[in-house]
Each structure stands twice: as structure tokens, then as C-alpha cells.
Structure 1
Amino acid sequence: MVKSRTQRGVLLLLIALILFSLYVRGTFRGEGLRRALITLSTPPQEALNRAYKAAADLIARYLYLLEVAEENRRLKEEIKRLKLERQLLSEKAREAERLRKLLGFKRSAGLKVMPARVVGISPQPQSRAFYIDKGSQDGIKKGMAVVSYEGVVGRVTVVGAGSSLVVPIVERGAKVSVILEDSRTRALLEGLGWGCRLLYLPKEEEVREGERVLTSGLDGVYPKGLTVGTVRRVVRRPGELFLEVEVVPSVDLSRLEEVLVVLEG
């Protein structure tokens, strides 16, 4: 049936073209020929109109989809931009909070300090040392103490023009003269590479877990009264003269971004 309709349409179109040709040549004139042309051309014209409308709808739909796709792309880019701005604002807020705490520590401690940023870590695999962005041109000298608002960090060991190397108190072999906050017992704190311990504490001393460990100020490096850490474990071994005391440092080096270098204590 579809084939016969197609053949019929083609036949009518051919007849319409022949009649139009004859009309142009002057063979047929008058109202009769006009009616015949209209009658014969109506079915093909309707088919062409339907085809045109379908094509126009298809093109319009395609253009609409392109517009929607472009709008989606713009919205995705806008979402990415807003997420990045939110992250940056959040990071700036956290940085401002850290700097506020550093400023508060500076005021409460009564120390002359210089703020610095952590800009790198030591390439030595077993070292916890790190670099700061202040050096000799900023007044930094070897042996100066480095602290944060949480407590003692370490001391400067190498000084360059615009940067310095800081060895933290947890570095293996690093030592700090300390005092226990409650008992007021003096001891020597030693770094173990991952944490710290107290040396030369007699077994008779009363040391409790959770007690704060402070700087004694007797080593000439760290001002007195700064927080060093907290006692985590106390062990009394038979036959030993001294206690085994583990200390958790108050400063988490893995999260350290800003520090204060003590210029005068």
C-alpha cells in the first residue's frame, strides 16, 4: 500500500509538471487549467509541507538539545568554580584562626618572636626536620627556639639567607630540659624519632599519666614554662634505678604550617 501511494504521488507530480509546462508554452489557458494544476499539486504539496515541518521540528529539537548541553556545561563549570572558592575561603579561615592563636600565644607568653611558615621537609628519610621561610636576613640565628601556640616545636640548627632548618624535639637524640607541672620534678626529655621519653627520673618520683611536661628554662634554648607534651605511660621495672616515662609531644608536626621563632625570651 505504501508503495502504491508513493507511485501515485510521483505520477501526480509528473502530470502536474507536464501541465505546468504546457501552460507556460501557451498550450492551455484559462481557469480550467489553473484548477487542474491546483487539484493535481495539492497532494504533493501537502507531503512536502509535512516533510518540511518534520525537518523543521527535528532541527529545532537538535538546536534545543545543543543549547541544553551548553547550559549544562556552563552550570558544571560554575559549580566547580564555586567549590574551589569555598575551599579557598575555608582554607583562609583556618589559616586566619591559626594566625590568631599564634598572635594570642605571642601576647600571653611575653616573648619577642618572628612568625615563619613551614616551606619544606628534610630529604633525610629518618629525619623529622623541616625548613622555614626565615633566615639570617630576617635576624634568625642558629640555636633559636621554635614554638607554636600548642607548645614547643624544636630549635634552629642551620641558617641560610632566606630559610632555616629546624630540628624538632621528637628528632632522635634531641634533648630538652623539662619540669613536671605538678610534682615540679626536673628531667631531661629525649626525642625518639616518633615521640619522646624522660630520662633520669628516679623510681621514687611520683609521676602520673596525663601530667603536663613543661620547659624548665635551664638549657639556655627554650624559655621556661612552655608546654612540651603530656605523660602517656609510666613504667617501673624491677631492678632499674629510673622510671620509663613516655611523653606525647603537644605539637603534631604532620599538621604544622606556621611557627614562631623566639628571638628573645
Structure 2
Amino acid sequence: MVTPLGTLDRTPPPFFRQGPSALTKLMFFSALAVFLMVADTRLKITQPLRTVVATVLNPVERILRVPIDAWNGAGDYAMGLQHALSSEAQARAKLAQQAERSSRVEQLQAENKRLRDLLTLRPALVVKSLPAEVLYEASDPYSRKVIIDRGMAQGVALASPVINEAGVLGQVTRVYPLSSEVTLLTDKEAAIPVLNVRTQARAAAYGTATGLELRFQAGNADVLPGDILQTSGVDGVYPPGIAVAKVMTVDRKVDTGFARVTLAPSAPPDGVRHVLVLEPVGLQLPPKPEPVPEESAKAGKTRKAVKK
């Protein structure tokens, strides 16, 4: 049977049917994306949807992270356990060393007391201390001073030494009712008498912009890098034996005959929070004997004779 040509269906089958062109689709979806971005930025229309999605997916995320967190936790636990065991071993070794040093110190203190009793020397001074906290640095940019929260009401005296666990920090230069001003050793106006532990030679350390230095040292002075300097205790302010500084460089200048010795403070002043305020040693020393009137008269006659 032959079908007439006019009755044939000339439409393409569904497989070959085509909608809008690719360029039209690209332009439409690009415009839609731009519109959604602008609308989201201006009107926040997707914020509630994001909130709902995040809330719903949060338990799922937590469940999926359980294996990862467990693996990381196991690794951290193993590392922490190893670090704790290592720290415990180091702490035990330090404790043993400190116990040995403590026994030697007690023995030396007992021996020192026996020797002082034998020589009828005055007992060693007991230095009183007062804990304090650094409030803030002084506002003067050309000085190195800090303010502490202890003053006359707590018994702080003028010229009291201020130290921490590392060594000397400075000295109280002003006392207020509830606070005090401490001039640090690195201040340009600061000075402290020191004793070289290696040579037992006395000197004076002065503050500089970069730290400390020993002044008026002869070019052939026995000072070497690495020497430890402590308070000498001869000034009546600082107790003896407190760490002050360490010698860093020694520049022996031939043309002047002096040596420039730079020091690094044992107690860096930056970042200090808690300190100890010591009682000046001079407050515990016996008063100076007053001159006898006869001796004063003889001394006056001698001076007159010398003038004549």
C-alpha cells in the first residue's frame, strides 16, 4: 500500500528535536546568575536558606569528622604522652640536682655560721622582701622606668633594690602612698657596683641605650667575654651575690688606654610582670659612730696648724 506524499509526518522524532540554541541558554542562565547574585547581595534572599542548610548538615559534618578527629586525637595523645614522659624525666633529673645543691647549701650555711661564731663576726644580714606587680611603664620616652603597685603604705623604702628570679632589675627612685617608681638598670642615669665572680674585682656598671657597660676599665684589665657580674654589697643598698649582668664584648682601645666593656643584663627588663622589692641593706647596718668631742677638737687644731 502506497501512502500519499502529502500525508507524511515531516516533524523530526523526539530524539532529534532541539530547543533554544546554546547561545540563548548561555545568555539566559548568565543573566539569571547575575540577578541571583545581585539579589542575594542586596536583599539577602538566600541567607535563610543557607542557615537552614547549614543547620541540617551540621550533624552530618560532625559525624563525618569523627574518624578524622579520632585519628588526630590519637596522634596528639601519643605525642603528648611522649612529651610528658620526657618532661618528667627532665624534671626528675633537675630535682635530683637541686636536692644535691640544697644539701650542699645547707652544709655551707652551717659551716659559715660556725666560722662566724668562731671569729665572732656579725651574723649575716637577713634581707626582707615584698612581692609587687608592674603596673605600667613611665611615660618619659627618654628613661627606662616602671611603676609598681607597692608604696609607702606597704613599707617600701626609697632606694630599695628590685629583683626577679633572674637577677637585679633596678632600684626604687620615687615612693608614693600606693605605688613606687623603679628606675631600671638600663636607664642612662642608673649605676650599680658589681663584682666579677671570676677575678673578684670590683667595678661599676652603668646603664646605656642598649644595655649596660663597665666604665673606667684599664686597657689591660682582666675582663673577658662570658664573665659573670654580681652585686658586691659594698654600697649599702644591694645585698651581695645577686646576678647583675654578663660580659658580652671587650674592646681594648690602645689610643685611650681604656677598655670598652659591654654587658647583657641578667634580668631583661622587657616583659617583666612580677618582681620582689628588697629592703636596702643600709637599714640593717649599725649606725655610724659619732665623733668624740676631744677627737674633733684635736682634728680642728691640726687643720689650723696645717693652714698656718
Q: TM-score, normalised by structure 2?
A: 0.51
Offset at 1:111? 3.2
Q: Distance in 1 between matches of 2:140 and 2:227?
A: 33
Rounded Cα–Cα distance in structure 2 between residues aligned with 1:163 and 1:68: 58
Give, in angstroms, the shift of residue 241 of structure 1.
2.8
Match of 2:119 in 1: none
TM-superposed deviation, 1:71: 7.6
1:257 and 2:245 equivalent?
A: no
Q: Alpha-carbon deviation of 1:197? A: 0.5
1:247 and 2:257 matched: no
> What is the distance in 1 between the residues matched to 2:57 and 2:239?
64
Alpha-carbon offset, residue 264 of structure 1: 5.3
Q: What secondary structure, in the 3-state scheme, does the structure 1 residue paired with 2:225 have? A: coil
2:189 corresponds to which of 167, 170, 173? 173
Q: Alpha-carbon deviation of 1:255?
A: 1.7
8 Å contact from structure 1 (residues 144, 262) kept in 2: yes
Q: Tell me: CA distance 1:170–1:63, structure 2 relative to 1, closer, same or farther (3 Å).
A: closer
Where does the alignment leave 5 or more consecutive residues of structure 2 unmatched?
1-48, 61-97, 106-124, 282-308
Please name the residue that 2:153 is paired with: 137
The corresponding residue for 2:110 is none
2:216 maps to what in 1? 200
1 CA distance for matches of 2:50 and 2:203? 80
Of structures 1 and 2, the one scoring higher in RCO (CA 8 A, sep 6+) is: 1
Aligned sequence identity (%): 30
Q: Given that residues 219 and 254 in structure 2 are in contact (C-alpha distance below 8 angstroms), is that contact kept between their aligned partners in structure 1?
A: no
Listed as ranges, the gaps of 5+ residues in structure 1 are 1-60, 73-103
Question: Secondary structure at 2:147's aligned position in 1?
Answer: strand
Aligned 8 A contact 1:128 1:193 in 2: no
Q: State the 1:239 CA deviation.
A: 2.7
Match of 2:233 in 1: 217
Provide, for residues 204-251 of structure 1, a one-character-per-residue CA deviation record: whole Å limited to 9, x for no partner: 221110110111112222111110010000011113232110000011
2:251 corresponds to: 235
1:1-265 matched pairs, under 5 angstroms: 65=53, 67-68=55-56, 111-263=127-279, 265=281
Take 1:63 and 1:226, find their aligned partners in 2: how far apart are those partners? 63
The answer to whether the 8 Å contact 2:191/2:206 transfers is yes
In structure 2, the residue corresponding to 1:221 is in which secondary structure?
Answer: coil
Using a 3 Å threshold, how does the CA distance of structure 1 residues 64 and 117 change in structure 2: closer, same or farther?
A: same
Q: CA deviation at 1:200?
A: 2.0
Letter in 1 for 2:210: W
Counterpart secondary structure, 1:201 = strand
Shift of 1:63: 8.5
Instruction: For residues 48-95 of structure 1, give each alpha carbon's deviation from its aligned partner in whole angstroms, at most 9, with x where no partner exists.
Output: xxxxxxxxxxxxx989526348889xxxxxxxxxxxxxxxxxxxxxxx
Q: Matches of 1:163 and 1:123 in 2, distance apart? A: 15
Q: In 2, Cα distance between the equivalents of 1:203 and 1:240?
A: 8
Q: Give the Cα–Cα distance (whole angstroms) in 2 for the partners of residues 204 and 66 of structure 1.
A: 77
Give TM-score, length-normalised by structure 1.
0.59
Q: Which has the larger radius of gyration?
A: 1
Question: Once the 2 structures are TM-superposed, how far is the Cα of residue 110 of structure 1 from its aligned partner?
Answer: 5.9
**Structure 2 contact 159–280 (Cα < 8 Å) conserved:** no
Q: What's the C-alpha RMSD, in Å, of the aligned pairs? A: 2.8
The 3 A distance-change label for structure 1 pair 137 and 188 is same
Task: Check 1:65–1:121 CA distance in 2 against 1; reply closer, same or farther (3 A cut).
Answer: same
Amino acid across the alignment from 1:65: V
Structure 2 CA distance for aligned equivalents of residues 124 and 254 of structure 1? 16
Aligned match of 1:101: none
2:171, 2:51 → 1: CA distance? Answer: 67
